[in-house]
Amino acid sequence: NFSVFFTLKFNNCAGNKGVRYETNSLDFKVRADGTLFAAHHLQVPSKQLILVPKGRKALPGELVQQQSDTLLPWRQHQSANGLRRQKRDWVIPPINVPENSRGPFPQQLVRIRSDKDKEIHIRYSITGVGADQPPMEVFNIDPVSGRMYVTRPMDREERASYHLRAHAVDMNGNKVENPIDLYIYVIDMNDNRPEFINQVYNGSVDEGSKPGTYVMTVTANDADDATTANGMVRYRIVTQTPQSPSQNMFTINSETGDIVTVAAGLDREKVQQYIVIVQATDMEGNLNYGLSNTATAIITVTDVNDNPPEFTTSTYSGEVPENRVEVVVANLTVLDRDQPHSPNWNAIYRIISGDPSGHFTIRTDPVTNEGMVTVVKAVDYEMNRAFMLTVMVSNQAPLASGIQMSFQSTAGVTISVTDVNEAPYFPTNHKLIRLEEGVPTGTVLTTFSAVDPDRFMQQAVRYSKLSDPANWLNINATNGQITTAAVLDRESDYIKNNVYEATFLAADNGIPPASGTGTLQIYLIDINDNAPELLPKEAQICEKPNLNVINITAADADIDPNVGPFVFELPSVPSAVRKNWTISRLNGDYAQLSLRIMYLEAGVYDVPIIVTDSGNPPLYNTSVIKVKVCPCDENGDCTTIGAVAAAGLGTGAIIAILICIIILLTMVLLFVVWMKRREKERHTKQLLIDPEDDVRDNILKYDEEGGGEEDQDYDLSQLQQPETMDHVLNKTPGVRRVDERPIGAEPQYPIRPVIPHPGDIGDFINEGLRAADNDPTAPPYDSLLVFDYEGSGSTAGSVSSLNSSSSGDQDYDYLNDWGPRFKKLADMYGGGEED
């Protein structure tokens, strides 16, 4: 039998109903009546466990295990031979430590000892998180006595439990007992208020919603243990603003936080928004012991189309001038209590009756929601002086269920049409009439009259011409009668495709006056009033027949049937025409003119030809064609002399003309030669020095830039032909030096004669210069030009070696034959002692 220690009594306000006892020790058990007894044989220390009844929390600072509690891991079992020690694993029940203990610290939790401590000295230690692992030194143990302490207050929300291992070793560090597991649980206390996820929640609900309609959900979290009352949150609505139409329009599920409507009467037009303060309390909502927090729930009442639009008045009026479009006649104002600028508020207007022809439409002003009655099709005062419209207004969105249209959603609109002066118009504009051309002046063609649409105005219409290109027509100013002012000619340049157009103006005498235009088109029927004309007007033919012929035709300004086929014939007078010429017909429009006789003297002949058309009656015309008869070559073409002779000139006249031409050309040539000689003399005078200068020891410079021979050291050996041509022949093709004689094909420069005539020097130089200019192989820059090769071994090393002397027997008279360029030298040296 187990020994009974005592019976536990506990009183609470509920009369001990529902109180259940339990212990966290494996060595003891508690009955339902509170009787405590031992579960097996054990040694009981002086003080034992404090039992915590279900539903009661330990007070701050109260430890579940008292200071004198000693845990004996090894138990002694009785055997037949007496007591003996039996070693087994150390099983320790969890140690509960309340959070937020006020101390003092360190505070003993439990004492651990081994029964071997009577035989040897044992040292105790603990390891694990909270001991030798972060967080460090939350728990420590006296190594000698085995008392384990907590060193600071616990926070369950920071860490809810700890798992430690207890070790027992001798003084040498040898393991005496196997390590045991210690589980330390931090007992939760209600030290955290519920915290809402958001401080402000936004929700919405349609106006007119039924009770029980879901609105929104609010949520609060409690950091305390959710399995205990400390973390069990309950919700309630504290206040509702405004309290209209009821102070309890909403309710909240205390456990889930769902807010729903609880009463009817939500009307956005009265209350657009509710502000609800929601409270969350732990301890299962116990306001006396629990901690609380609040949040704000903003509930917006959304609009539904429960208010039909209504006209502010039952009748509207407006006025519009006739013939005007896109004019706003009247503005229709409506009242809609739904949310502005939403589909429940936006108005749509329709014309129900009074406008069968569709003259009007109603557009909605997006800002004011007014209906603008607009003219889209012009109205005519003479047809309708007024309109009585019936209009209806509705919303873009359909009305909510159960809402009917108001009788004020329809109205009447009276529109008056004002008369304005309208322009006269021609009923048959672009009027077309047909008549033959050539009608006499003053003929009445038609009456082109206009109509004044203003039937209710006494006005007169007057007519005038606006456009009459040929000035062929007249119009009566009062009745619009059209008569001819000239003969109408279909062949005139003013006619396009046989039609003549004229534009007329009809104007009334209204205030202000108005006018309209009309176009009259006259289709002219062709008559045979134009005789054919012979083509071509000129031709030429050889003086002998059968070599060539002249093709002739005719042109007629009329049109079919007053044109071809044409008849070509020669007149009988003069008789020489038919004697010399003949006509052969090719087809209806062409014929050939040729010589009848074997020979006709060259000259120009006027050949008359009668051309007759096929009109009714037919018209004919005698046309003259100028035919040039000339001698021809073997190809049948006129020769040059023959062409001149064919122009009608005699042999003497031709010779005289040729002589005149030759004389004229000779005079021109002489004038050119004289001008060139004069230019050469002027150029020579510019080159020669003044007569008083001594020129015997000087070299005259012609177009040479740079200094004199004193300033320049020229190597004239480069002008000589090299002794060998190997370096020239071995050069790359296309590369040559300008101071070497070219090898290969070159332009043919003029060859200087062995004994040149003194007058040929200038021509020789000019020909060489011309050949060089046309040389395609010449480089594109100034270079030395080889005019002649004089051979090697020249005794003249430099032109500076030339000496001039006034003495000697040399004859310089030949300088007179070298032309004007050497005239000055001839005068100076050839004149002898005359100078």
The residue written with tokens 């109603």 in the block is 362
SS3 call for 792: coil
* pLDDT tops 50 at residue 81: no
* pLDDT tops 60 at residue 94: yes
* pLDDT tops 60 at residue 66: no
pLDDT score at 114: 85
Cβ-count burial of 49 within 10 angstroms (0-12 exposed, 13-18 middle, 19+ buried)? middle
- Read off the pLDDT of residues 468-478 as tens digits, 9 standing for 90 and up: 998 999 998 88
- Read off the pLDDT of residues 586-634 as tens digits, 9 standing for 90 and up: 888 888 888 888 888 888 888 898 888 888 888 888 889 898 888 887 7
* pLDDT tops 80 at residue 202: yes
- Read off the pLDDT of residues 488-512 as tens digits, 9 standing for 90 and up: 888 888 989 889 999 999 998 887 8
- Half-sphere exposure of residue 523: CA atoms within 13 angstroms, side-chain side: 5
What residues contact residue 324 under an 8 Å CB cut-off, 6+ apart? 375, 378
* pLDDT tops 90 at residue 401: no
pLDDT score at 86: 45
Residue 47 or residue 251, greater confidence: 251
pLDDT score at 276: 96
* pLDDT tops 60 at residue 330: yes
SS3 call for 320: strand
- Read off the pLDDT of residues 780-823 as tens digits, 9 standing for 90 and up: 666 666 655 555 555 555 544 445 444 555 677 777 777 777 77
pLDDT score at 640: 66
Residues 722 and 336: their CA atoms lie apart, in Å, by: 120
Residues 61 and 4: their CA atoms lie apart, in Å, by: 29
Selection from 558, 569, 663, 562 nearest residue 622 by Cα: 569
- Contact at 8 Å (CB) between 346 and 364? yes
Residues 115 and 74: their CA atoms lie apart, in Å, by: 7
- Please give the full DSSP string across 391-414, using - where no structure is assigned: EEEEESSPPPTT----GGGEEEEE
pLDDT score at 48: 40
Pairing outcome for strands 590-595 and 550-555: antiparallel
The mean per-residue pLDDT over the stretch 709-720 comes to: 50
Selection from 521, 449, 517, 446 nearest residue 484 by Cα: 446
**Angle at Cα 492 formed by Cα 489 and Cα 495, nearest 5°?**
95
Most confident of 461-465, 562-566, 699-703, 773-777: 461-465
What residues contact residue 145 under an 8 Å CB cut-off, 6+ apart? 111, 113, 124
**Angle at Cα 118 formed by Cα 114 and Cα 124, nearest 5°?**
40
* pLDDT tops 90 at residue 72: no
- Read off the pLDDT of residues 740-772 as tens digits, 9 standing for 90 and up: 445 545 556 566 555 555 556 777 778 877 877
**Percent of the chain as helix, strand, coil, to the nearest 5:** 15, 30, 55
What residues contact residue 377 under an 8 Å CB cut-off, 6+ apart? 325, 357, 358, 359, 360
What residues contact residue 565 under an 8 Å CB cut-off, 6+ apart? 587, 588, 589, 614
Residues 577 and 186: their CA atoms lie apart, in Å, by: 151
pLDDT score at 681: 81
Sequence letter at residue 531: A
* pLDDT tops 90 at residue 29: no
Which range (158-167, 428-437, 661-670) has the least confidence?
Answer: 428-437
DSSP 8-state class, residue 496: B
Instruction: Rounding to the nearest 10 degrees, give the CA dihedral for residues 156, 157, 158, 162.
Output: 30
CA 561 to chain centre: 63
Which range (196-200, 274-278, 432-436, 764-768) has the least confidence?
Answer: 764-768
**φ and ψ of 160, to 5 deg:** -90, -20
pLDDT score at 455: 75
pLDDT score at 342: 92
pLDDT score at 572: 84
63: confidence class by pLDDT, cuts 50, 70, 90: very low
Which range (44-53, 403-412, 428-437) has the least confidence?
Answer: 44-53
Outline where 124-192 has alpha helix (H). none
Q: How many CB atoms lie within 10 A of CB 158?
A: 10
pLDDT score at 752: 56
* pLDDT tops 70 at residue 241: yes
